[in-house]
Chain A
Amino acid sequence: MYRYSEFDTAFLAERNAQFRAQVERRIDGSLTEDEFKPLRLMNGLYLQLHAYMLRVAVPYGTLSSAQMRQLALLAEKWDKGYGHFTTRQNIQYNWPKLNDVPDMLDALAEVGMHAIQTSGNTIRNVTADHFAGAAADEVADPRPYAELLRQWSTDHPEFQFMPRKFKIAITGSENDRAVIKAHDIGLQLVERDGVLGARVIVGGGLGRTPMIGKELSEFVAFDDLLAYLEATVSVWNQIGRRDNKYKARIKITVHEHGIDAIRAKVNERFLQVRPQFKGADMNLLEEIKGHFAAPAFREASVASFESAYTNDPVFRSWVDTNIAPHKNADHAIVTISIKKHGQTPGDATAEQMRVMADLAEEFAYDELRISHEQNVILPHVHKSDLPAIHAKLKEHELATANIGLISDIIACPGMDYCALATARSIPVAQEIATRFEDLKLEHDIGHLKIKISGCINACGHHHVGHIGILGLDRAGVENYQITLGGDATETAAVGDRTGPGFAYDEIVPAVERIVEAYLDLRDSAEETFLETYRRVGMAPFKAVLYPEARANAA
């Protein structure tokens, strides 16, 4: 876990003091809203539909129990007793008062957290594989490099007024759990001839023009990587379009110039930038790595786990669904679902946050993670502790066994909170989850990812959902478009639109028809929804979604 240096602490204290003064000047009338808005956004403060919203960064999704407890305190003291975990591993508070925000930021600084660059045209919170440092399949823990990127990008003088926002994701595994191909830059750690480096993907992104990232370089060694990234962002900062907000992201730059031309420009710029990196970054990386050293995994018998697994069917179902393999065979990675059927995806109450913090402290070497799929993870748990963890989770409505299943839905806040939204997403997610819970079909359906966005900006990642749902405003009425076949992993793909959208009260039945069709079409219970879709294509799903069109054509 990264511990702030004196520099970090002093920097944050100064920044928070500046913001406190800015808030005072806004309230006493010395600053207009036009002057204040960019300042508040730089500190993560939005004004949404019903209230201000504070977006706090959880860098690379990693939290200690003390940090989680502090997030709970903020929820209780200055909000309505809960927080919302987002698809960028952040937490959002939906109801802060302007006067309270400086105190909230000071409280965050006490535990080494901030809201800097969670908004604005800057490099945003760097996201990482939520299983980092624990996954059985990783080359190296990507978080030290993510922390280096956080320090490099925070207040970077060249990158404060870019054409648009810029998002970086990093993973240490071939199996991509960080959606690196849908980021402005995606990094996959790879080792070549004993040297650690990264494969660099550029120009991915969702939003109104979804694009799958392209390979900019198959390997950049660590000691050149920061210079290479600086060169990449710098090229885009210079030639990225500022005339049209919708064409400003690097995906459009890559698309318009072509990946080969961009690569040539980056290489040229890299040669200029490289001499400025004299190794200080590598010394810093070495120091940061020390903060992320793996815990001393305890050794104990797993007999109690095996006995509970054999004898308790509820525990077994939870283990089968919510537990992933750990690099240490006696340990496991626990994903805590904060998506009990009918609840708002990603919301956790202050009490639930404290319970998860307590579990992390007692059983999980004091570590928690937030996933971009809006769940909470205990990355290192000895298997013998799983029954006790499960029992505690059950008491607090946190033991839902639905990870990777149809009710494990990503949903953006949508029209219920967001000023940009064109339709609601949360109630659609709630109703889909409740419907399939009633049908008791969830485990039979198996691996199926539904992702819902309430506007074209695609915070809910709908383009890469196996079933994607996009809420729009059609002539003053909520309308939902469906895409099928999206994929957020290393085999990333943008989903295909089925056809005309569905009204609010038609969208859940439409999803049900798609799922019924899949159950009829699949080869066996082992063939997942995505595999079936890739085999049979769109036609049979269109037929069940739009039966009247077929009748008319006949």
Chain B
Amino acid sequence: MARAFTPKVVTANDLLEGDVIYQTEDDSWSRDLSEAELITDEAHAQVRLLDAARQANKIVGAYLADAIAGDKGPEPTHFREDFRRTGPSNYAHGKQETSPQPRV
């Protein structure tokens, strides 16, 4: 039996900046995971991933990442995605510099 679909967000890296970005419902890209579109339907997820892949001159390496609904929007379920939305732990660089992303 296929595994049950778990909620996802579409994420990628920005072509020019290289930083982590998330697809929003209005089809733009946000630097903030909490603004991402949380996708709960598998077919819709595939459509949104295709939407992202078509923007090859803006983004790199789009994929579906697991996320769950939190108080302020989607939150990561895996520590890798937690690092991606925050930045490295040895310096306050990356997204920590611009918009605080407290690690839970």
Chain A residues in the interface with B (C-beta under 8 A): 26-29, 32-33, 47-52, 80, 94-99, 344, 415-417, 424, 426-427, 430, 473, 476-478
Contacts and interface: CB of A to CB of B under 8 A. Distances in A.
Contacts of A94: 88, 93
B48 to A, nearest CB: 18
B99 interface: no
Nearest to B85: A50
Contacts, number: 74
Given A97-B18, A98-B18, A344-B90, A32 B56 contact: yes
Interface of B: 13, 15-20, 56-57, 60-61, 77-80, 83-84, 87-91, 93-95
A80 B91 CA distance: 10
A29 B56 contact: yes
Contact of A415 (B77, B83, B93): B83
Nearest to A98: B16
27 contacts: A29-B57, A32-B56, A33-B56, A33-B60, A33-B61, A47-B18, A47-B60, A48-B18, A50-B19, A50-B20, A50-B93, A51-B13, A51-B18, A51-B19, A51-B94, A95-B93, A97-B16, A97-B17, A98-B15, A98-B18, A416-B89, A417-B88, A424-B89, A426-B89, A427-B89, A477-B79, A478-B79
Nearest to A96: B18
A28 B93 CA distance: 29
Closest 3 CB pairs of A and B: A416-B88, A29-B57, A52-B18
Contacts of B87: 50
Nearest to B66: A476
B93 A476 contact: no
Contacts of A27: 15-16, 57
B79 A415 contact: yes
Contacts of B91: 80, 344
A96 B16 CA distance: 10
Given A50-B19, A344-B90, A416 B83 contact: yes
A416 B13 contact: no
Nearest to A421: B80
A357 B7 CA distance: 52
The majority secondary structure among interface residues of chain B is loop
B80 A415 contact: yes
Contacts of B80: 49, 415, 473
A91 to B, nearest CB: 17
A50 B18 contact: yes
B60 A80 contact: no
Contacts of B57: 27-29
A424 B82 CA distance: 12
Given A33-B60, A97-B18, A416 B90 contact: yes
Contacts of B83: 49-50, 415-416
Contacts of A415: 79-80, 83
Given A50-B93, A51-B18, A473-B80, 16 more contacts: A33-B61, A47-B13, A50-B18, A50-B83, A50-B94, A50-B95, A51-B19, A80-B91, A96-B18, A98-B18, A415-B80, A417-B88, A426-B90, A427-B90, A430-B90, A476-B79
A27 B14 CA distance: 11
Nearest to B95: A50
Nearest to B82: A415
A118 B90 CA distance: 25
A80 B94 CA distance: 10
A52 B18 CA distance: 5
B56 A476 contact: no
A95 B93 CA distance: 9
A455 to B, nearest CB: 11
Nearest to B58: A29
Contacts of A26: 15
Given A33-B61, A416-B89, A99 B16 contact: yes
A50 B88 CA distance: 8
Nearest to A429: B90
A27 to B, nearest CB: 7
B43 to A, nearest CB: 25
A381 to B, nearest CB: 31
A62 B26 CA distance: 52
A478 B13 CA distance: 24
A334 to B, nearest CB: 26
A99 B17 CA distance: 8
Nearest to A45: B18
A320 B72 CA distance: 56
Nearest to A427: B89
A99 B60 CA distance: 15
